[in-house]
Structure 1
Amino acid sequence: MLKKKLTLIIVFLLIFSAPETFAQSRKKRKADKNAVAKVDTKASDAKKEPKPYKKVIDSSAVTQKGLIDVHKIDNKYLFEIPDSILGSEMMTITRYSKTPAGGGIFGGEEINRQVVRWEKGLNNNILLRSITYVIMSPDADKPLAQAVKNSTSDPIIGNYDVLAYKKDEAGKITGYVVDLATTFDADVQTFSLDPIKKQLLNIQAFQKDRSFISKVSSFPINTEIRSVKTFTTTPPKINTSPTPKIGVDLPSALDAGVLTVEMNTSMILLPKNPMRKREFDARVGYFANQYGVFEEESQKSDTKVFAVRWRLEPKSPEDAQKQKMGELIEPLKPIVYYIDPATPEKWKKYIKQGIDDWQVAFENAGWKNAIRGEYWPENDPTMSLEDARFSVLRYFAAEIQNAYGPNVHDPRTGEILESHIGWYHNIMSLLRNWYLIQTAAVDPAARAKKFDDKLMGELIRFVSSHEVGHTLGLRHNMGASSATPVEKLRDKDYQDKNGHTSSIMDYARFNYVAQPEDGVTALFPRIGDYDKWAIKWGYSYFEDTKTEAQEKAFLNEMTKEAYKNNRLWFGSESSPYDPRYQTEDIGDNAMRASEYGIKNLKRILPNLLQWSKEDGESYSELEELYGALTGQFRRYMGHVTKNVGGIYDSPKTYDMSGNQFQVVPKSIQKDAVAFLNTQLFTTPKWLLDQNILSKINPESGVEAIKGMQDATLSSLMAGDRMVRLLETSTASKDNYSVDELITDLNKGIFSELKGNSSIDMYRRNVQKLYVDKMIELLKPGSTTVRSVPVGVTYGFNTRRVNLAQTDLPSIARGQLNALKNDLKMSSSRMTDRMSKYHVLDLISRISEALDPK
């Protein structure tokens, strides 16, 4: 009992004394925590305090001098940011060095680029900011410049403690030693993969423990940082829904659950003396950069648009005078492209020739030896393929059938700093297919499964020239080939002298118009008249023009004079309505050119089996070539179709005569529809070579023909084309109209009704397609109409048009009523059973559409 009472007393005392005891305990813990916090803060502050330079960069450091001095101590890299570059802008270019196989990414390809700037922080630290050019003010000392600054805050992408200061003998700070590991062995977007690329590669999370800086090299104008980055990937899932999968599963990621890539970031100082900008001109096809400009004395903001090009300057004033007098001179710094040592040996010389071919264009601008190709030197440790000082044609072991020519330029002026051309191995397969299908009727060398090295080498040379053209700043000139009359494409002497297109920047591949009897052997694109003119416009050095405005005025006079020759015209790669500006077409009349092209396809088709065969191999090669041939036929249909509802767009300025926009003449549009009626809607049975189809396809080609007809009818009757026809025919009765288009299609597609002929399956198919599309026009909905903005570089103006509020449904109703009557008259005289069923079915469809129950 006594023991129980004592226990209760103890419990009582503990309960009632607990608050004070617990409070004292909390105070003690809080005091201890504060003490720790103070200690940690002091320790942290102490850590941030820079140490003496020699304590940080001691005798064990291995130092590389360059734009940024780099010190390697054990396995750690420290960077010495010179005071002289603080506030200066630098371009950073990050490329893959090594990539996992199977993801469609390759070593040497660019990942991203960004302008950055180093600046001092507030507390012994250095900041790295990302710079984006959107708006600028040239009046730095005026009030408006402050408003621009207030609207252009640049994000901070790096904050680095200064570990030590480098000082000169007078005690002035000349450098800041920092550790950039937090940026380059981490996953900072500017120097790594952006979210979209990660999504495409199914990348999930960055793995710090398996990522590191592997090498740093510093040179006089650039610093190169190579890093290894490892990521986990999204595990593959069983797909139980129809939702499409976005990313690609890389084989190595499936095996290991992670993927590792090596990246190289080039940091290159932008020129201290920016190149003079050359204002963009829509009449000459250059890539361009732009930003908004706010000037103190202006009444509205302006957009400064300028061409992208290399800087070519004379070595001396004396040279400038020689050039002015007509003598060719060498530039201070020529344009040099190195060829990747991974390129197969036998193709290197052809790629180099493709680069050197541009010398003739630069000579037209007053330069000699201005551009050249070089083989990459072996065993030179001072050179790296990812080094931003060197422009390189990189060779990729890839199944992709392509090549591309980008450039890296100063966003302030458009000055090209370097370029890495991408070249995929399987482009040779594409070239072989293109050349065989387009020229085998006239060139015996094209009639083979594998081309000889000389022919393939010349094909590679042509592509090399084209891609280099892009890296010189030139856009595609899709209108160049339209300057050549179709009959001149069959003229041997003319072709030997001029070629089939005036620009190698056109997608005009090869001369598919020349017939076997013509004797034409010049079938390749070459550096043409337009290319020489465009280089003259972009690279001429004008000693006497002291301002951008003076230069613009001088160039305008040059351009107006050049415009008198349509071989020097530029045709946009993006026009939705100009039939002269198309890919893969040649000649000034698509109907005549395509007719010649089809004649050659008919000669080539029966030989595909012989030209693709190889004992012991499947018919996959035959299938590929047949697909290439039918694809070529489809292109001809597309070339012709664009004439319908077409509008010529010839860029003009106020001081030039004539209108910029002109409607394609009615006669040409009617010729286009007649061509389609003859070559496509009248069944092209010549394509249905059963000796070929029976080896590559279980079907006989009925649906394939219907698919071609469906695609062309859909294009012909597309909403934007209908809008252009409605508007242009309203402007003038001399222009082709929607009603005339449908009338012409009716005559061709239903030609059997006049003579009560039997209608075979192919024709029944196209007639059903046509009627269904006409019925759709009764309730056409809305469409988007695009137009290219006048005088600018890229992009479209768009507007939505409600087609139900136009004449389109009215025309469709009237035409369907007329067609219904014609079908009724014909049905009573039809003797072929399937034809009669078909006609009655069409009558029923039309009746139900016109008067739905």
Structure 2
Amino acid sequence: MTSPLTRTLWLLLILPFLSAGLAVAQKLPGIASKTAGMKKYPGYFTFYYDDAAGKIWLEVDKLNQEFLYVNSLPAGLGSNDIGLDRGQLGGERVVYFEKVGPKVMLVQPNLGYRAITNNKNEARAVEESFAKSILWGFKAEAEEGNRVLVDATDFLLRDAHNVTGSIKRTGQGNYKLDASRSAVYLPRTKNFPQNSEFEATLTFTGGDDAGRFVYEVAPDVQALTLRQHHSFIQLPDNKYKPREADPRAGYFGISYFDYATPVDENIEKRFIARHRLQKKDPSARVSEAVEPIVYYVDNGAPEPIRTALLEGARWWNQAFEAAGYRDAFRVEVLPDSADPMDVRYNIIQWVHRSTRGWSYGASVTDPRTGEIIKGHVSLGSLRVRQDYLIAEGLLAPYEEGKPVNKAMMDMALARIRQLSAHELGHTLGIMHNYAANNNASVMDYPHPQAKLDRTGNIDLSKAYDTGIGEWDKVAVTYGYQDFPAGTNEKQALNDILAKGRANNLQFISDRDARATGGAHPTAHLWDNGTSATDELLSVLRIREKALQNFSERNIKPGAAMSTLEDVLVPIYNYHRYQTEAAVKLIGGLNYTYAVRGDGQLVTEVVSKGEQQKALDAMLKTISPEVLAVPEHIIKLIPPRAPGLRNSRELFAKRTGLTFDPLAAAEASADFSVSFLLHPERASRLVEQGARSNTLSLQNVTEQLIQNTWKSRREKGLQEQVQLQTEQVVLTHLMALANNEGASYQARAVATATLKDLKNYIETRLRTNKQGTYHAHLTFALERLNRPVVEEVKPNKTLDLPPGSPIGSGEVLRCE
């Protein structure tokens, strides 16, 4: 056994050698020697490219200093449904590098919970109460002074944009990143004094279970190659002054909880998102800006689209002029030398996809303050073609020996101007405004305003507005006004909104405008006019005229006759958006985003007269004369010609290859009835009918039955349309009666209506012993007698072809 003295002597002998070995192991090479022979990219974060190894080496010289990290998708998949578009921005994050021994951590602090205070202990208590995130861990490979060199390659070649997750979430397959087919993309890997830009080509493999959306866009579904971009951006200085949010102003923004707030004040702080803009002379009524806001239009957009994009975006200068700025907002064409993903450029990007899709207005925003650092608009290129198609359907313009009607291109380009202004508005921080009647805002969704001229022909000369709206001027003044020193800013901002209200300008945004759950009588998507009901009747007259005129003149000479169906779809369904608008008056509630003391209307139930007028118009949309496709049109449309793809843009069919006018009518009837009997609307009708003299759910169901099941019997195709509409009504009554999301009394009224209808059907069957009507009644009675196990699962009705752009339409900064 070794004695303690012997062990001590041995330790004393080897300790110097151990210490020397550790010193050698811990000593890192210098950065210059480690990067010898590599290409150096000096800039915000200097980095080096090792061509032999295909690696990026990052020089970290700003330890524990916060900066902004943004990932994006410069080269996309091209599918609206999957949503991985060219130019799509990922989230922005405030981060910092922290060195811990041999490791360098990329840390994201938790800015959602703060303590804005000079008391360090109070701030530390909040910081330690909520989790932070370490986004990546690097190994220090070389160092010089306070500078550390790390291998950033794996960080840059990872799926930061979660492409695999997006594909899987949309049911399009299980893919994984293939490192052997991924590499740094040097043409877009650049460095600048205030931002470092990195880009990578990434390949995702799999495809054995690829969905049809992937098949539509990929040359080989086994390998999807996209590009992802990473930006390290210097945060703005502390001279920007955040502006408090107001629910009446219509701005996006940031929010966080400030635990240093006194107990008698609101702990949640909200600030609007906006660009930094300052007047050279804040005391002057009109002044130039210290630094103007400049946007750039994608140089890949063709003419005349490019000019239309420029013109529409420049409308916003009218709003900045109204706020007292001179030449503070400019729009130019992107120089060939510029990179659209470079954070220094506010960009309007022209994006191509396999099908028409939403356009988006996104931005890179400082999460600390709400300051917009970069505006980024993505405009879907197929939208202009859809407007041109609608114009073809309305005008039937292709006559032998006559030039093509210029009004179609004029309308399509007018829409592009409006769309450019709309999406750019989002990147200024401004929300949708769906209560902006009479073209008060480009932040509404506009439907083409067709009119009948004195001779009864369709006129598209004023299809879209041609400038900024009055609400937009109020919004920009609220967000960007630079007040003179000594101004009571809160009062001045309140005065701006009060002046807008005095001019009958109101702000109502997204969720309030939807036809399913929404109840506001003036906030609607894609509608026109001051009265949603009157406009629906007007739109139905336009639709009737267009269907009367529909002929082979709606397609170009030499086009396959089956392509007439493409043109017919948006015309037959021309009233769909105004239908959604009018139905919101039924069970409707007028309200504002009032604050205490501002004198605005708080709530008011829509009057019984207005609700009844809307119901009458809604019932007209499911009448056989509106739903039946005219015979002269049916005869014109053969089965799809070889080589022409069937798509969701066409009518659904129950007749195989042949055009199915009954299916078109069924989908349209289902569209209207589903809104009339929506469980939330039904529940509101019960509640409102109980406490005010207005329309009740029982009124609605009685009139619905009276105008369908108990109406005068039609003949021919209109009879078949009438019978299937009655089955659609039955379907939705059964669904409402058994919908646990509806109120008990709404379900009770639907159940009572079904019982009365059953008695009516049984009575009619006694006198109708054979024929089509007898079969119809027998089938309906059999449906009513089916047992309810867990829930009623009525026959599946057909959906309308998409009207709005294809893809997710719930994003708040899209159109």
> Do the aligned partners of residues 116 and 50 (structure 1) sit closer, same or farther apart at CA in structure 2, a change above 3 Å counting?
farther
Asked if the contact 1:760–1:835 (Cα under 8 Å) also holds between the matched residues in 2, the reply is: no
Asked if the contact 2:551–2:636 (Cα under 8 Å) also holds between the matched residues in 1, the reply is: no
In structure 2, distance between residues paired with 1:287 and 1:633: 31
RMSD value, Cα: 3.8
Aligned equivalent of 1:153 = 131
> How many angstroms does 1:80 deviate by?
2.5
Q: 1:130 aligns with which of 95, 101, 108?
A: 108
> How many angstroms does 1:623 deviate by?
1.0
Q: 2:204 aligns with which of 231, 238, 243?
A: 231
Q: 2:320 aligns with which of 355, 362, 366?
A: 362
In structure 2, distance between residues paired with 1:212 and 1:438: 51
When you count helix as a share of all residues, which structure comes out higher?
1
Aligned equivalent of 1:738 = 697
Say yes or no: does 1:571 pair with 2:508: yes
Aligned equivalent of 1:619 = 561
> Do the aligned partners of residues 301 and 514 (structure 1) sit closer, same or farther apart at CA in structure 2, a change above 3 Å counting?
same
Say yes or no: does 1:95 pair with 2:72: yes
1:449-505 Cα deviation digits (max 9, x unpaired): 997765543332222112211211122211112xx4xxxxxxxxxxxxxxxx21111
> Do the aligned partners of residues 307 and 159 (structure 1) sit closer, same or farther apart at CA in structure 2, a change above 3 Å counting?
same
Aligned equivalent of 1:290 = 255
> Do the aligned partners of residues 826 and 132 (structure 1) sit closer, same or farther apart at CA in structure 2, a change above 3 Å counting?
same
> Do the aligned partners of residues 49 and 453 (structure 1) sit closer, same or farther apart at CA in structure 2, a change above 3 Å counting?
farther
Say yes or no: does 1:717 pair with 2:677: yes
In structure 1, distance between residues paired with 2:85 and 2:728: 48
1:428-469 Cα deviation digits (max 9, x unpaired): 21221344556889xxxx995997765543332222112211
> Do the aligned partners of residues 630 and 579 (structure 1) sit closer, same or farther apart at CA in structure 2, a change above 3 Å counting?
farther
Asked if the contact 2:78–2:353 (Cα under 8 Å) also holds between the matched residues in 1, the reply is: no
The one-letter amino acid paired with 1:183 is: F
In structure 2, distance between residues paired with 1:710 and 1:397: 33
Q: 1:384 aligns with which of 339, 343, 354?
A: 339
Aligned equivalent of 2:223 = 258
Correspondence 1:574-593 to 2 at 5 A:
574-575=511-512, 576-593=518-535
Aligned to 1:527, the other structure's residue is in SS state coil
Aligned equivalent of 2:476 = 535
Q: 2:720 aligns with which of 750, 756, 761?
A: 761
1:497-536 Cα deviation digits (max 9, x unpaired): xxxx211111123213554559884331231111111111
Asked if the contact 2:103–2:137 (Cα under 8 Å) also holds between the matched residues in 1, the reply is: yes
> Do the aligned partners of residues 729 and 72 (structure 1) sit closer, same or farther apart at CA in structure 2, a change above 3 Å counting?
same
Q: 1:68 aligns with which of 38, 45, 52?
A: 45
The one-letter amino acid paired with 1:150 is: E
Aligned equivalent of 2:605 = 663
Asked if the contact 2:177–2:203 (Cα under 8 Å) also holds between the matched residues in 1, the reply is: yes
> How many angstroms does 1:419 deviate by?
2.2
Correspondence 1:380-419 to 2 at 5 A:
380=337, 383-402=338-357, 403-419=359-375
Q: 2:233 aligns with which of 268, 275, 285?
A: 268
> Do the aligned partners of residues 585 and 513 (structure 1) sit closer, same or farther apart at CA in structure 2, a change above 3 Å counting?
farther
Aligned equivalent of 2:59 = 80
> Do the aligned partners of residues 160 and 669 (structure 1) sit closer, same or farther apart at CA in structure 2, a change above 3 Å counting?
same
Asked if the contact 1:94–1:191 (Cα under 8 Å) also holds between the matched residues in 2, the reply is: yes
Correspondence 1:184-263 to 2 at 5 A:
184=156, 186-187=157-158, 189-190=159-160, 193=163, 195-197=165-167, 202=173, 204-215=175-186, 216-236=189-209, 251-254=218-221, 257-263=222-228
> How many angstroms does 1:360 deviate by?
0.7
1:575-612 Cα deviation digits (max 9, x unpaired): 12113211111112222111111111122123343443
Aligned equivalent of 2:795 = none
Say yes or no: does 1:320 pair with 2:293: no
1:319-366 Cα deviation digits (max 9, x unpaired): 2222xxx1x222222221212222214322221111212111110111
**TM norm structure 2:** 0.81
Asked if the contact 2:592–2:602 (Cα under 8 Å) also holds between the matched residues in 1, the reply is: yes
Correspondence 1:603-682 to 2 at 5 A:
603-682=545-624
Aligned to 2:423, the other structure's residue is in SS state helix
In structure 1, distance between residues paired with 2:318 and 2:563: 39
> How many angstroms does 1:760 deviate by?
3.0
Asked if the contact 1:355–1:371 (Cα under 8 Å) also holds between the matched residues in 2, the reply is: no
Say yes or no: does 1:705 pair with 2:665: yes
State the identity %.
21
**TM norm structure 1:** 0.77
Aligned equivalent of 2:97 = 119
> Do the aligned partners of residues 558 and 602 (structure 1) sit closer, same or farther apart at CA in structure 2, a change above 3 Å counting?
same
The one-letter amino acid paired with 1:366 is: G
Q: 1:729 aligns with which of 689, 693, 700?
A: 689
Aligned equivalent of 2:417 = 461
In structure 2, distance between residues paired with 1:72 and 1:811: 72
Aligned equivalent of 1:474 = 430
> Do the aligned partners of residues 122 and 827 (structure 1) sit closer, same or farther apart at CA in structure 2, a change above 3 Å counting?
closer
> Do the aligned partners of residues 813 and 447 (structure 1) sit closer, same or farther apart at CA in structure 2, a change above 3 Å counting?
farther
> How many angstroms does 1:295 deviate by?
2.0
Aligned to 2:190, the other structure's residue is in SS state strand
In structure 2, distance between residues paired with 1:655 and 1:52: 67
> How many angstroms does 1:545 deviate by?
5.7
> How many angstroms does 1:390 deviate by?
0.9
> How many angstroms does 1:311 deviate by?
0.9
In structure 2, distance between residues paired with 1:755 and 1:312: 65
Asked if the contact 2:83–2:166 (Cα under 8 Å) also holds between the matched residues in 1, the reply is: no
Aligned to 1:736, the other structure's residue is in SS state coil
In structure 2, distance between residues paired with 1:291 and 1:774: 45
In structure 2, distance between residues paired with 1:204 and 1:155: 26
> Do the aligned partners of residues 631 and 140 (structure 1) sit closer, same or farther apart at CA in structure 2, a change above 3 Å counting?
farther
1:138-175 Cα deviation digits (max 9, x unpaired): 125154423321133322223334444445xxxxx4x3
The one-letter amino acid paired with 1:473 is: G
Asked if the contact 1:439–1:512 (Cα under 8 Å) also holds between the matched residues in 2, the reply is: no
In structure 1, distance between residues paired with 2:754 and 2:83: 53
Aligned equivalent of 1:13 = none
In structure 1, distance between residues paired with 2:404 and 2:367: 47
In structure 2, distance between residues paired with 1:625 and 1:295: 61
In structure 1, distance between residues paired with 2:375 and 2:714: 64
In structure 2, distance between residues paired with 1:756 and 1:53: 88
Correspondence 1:814-833 to 2 at 5 A:
814-816=752-754, 819=757
Say yes or no: does 1:504 pair with 2:430: no
Greater relative CO (CA pairs within 8 A, separation 6+): 2
The answer to which of 841-850 and 683-692 deviates more is 841-850
Aligned to 1:373, the other structure's residue is in SS state strand
In structure 1, distance between residues paired with 2:717 and 2:460: 44
Q: 2:380 aligns with which of 424, 428, 443?
A: 424
> Do the aligned partners of residues 529 and 264 (structure 1) sit closer, same or farther apart at CA in structure 2, a change above 3 Å counting?
same
Asked if the contact 1:101–1:252 (Cα under 8 Å) also holds between the matched residues in 2, the reply is: no
Q: 1:303 aligns with which of 244, 249, 268?
A: 268
Asked if the contact 2:203–2:225 (Cα under 8 Å) also holds between the matched residues in 1, the reply is: yes
The one-letter amino acid paired with 2:684 is: R
The number of residue pairs the alignment matches comes to 736
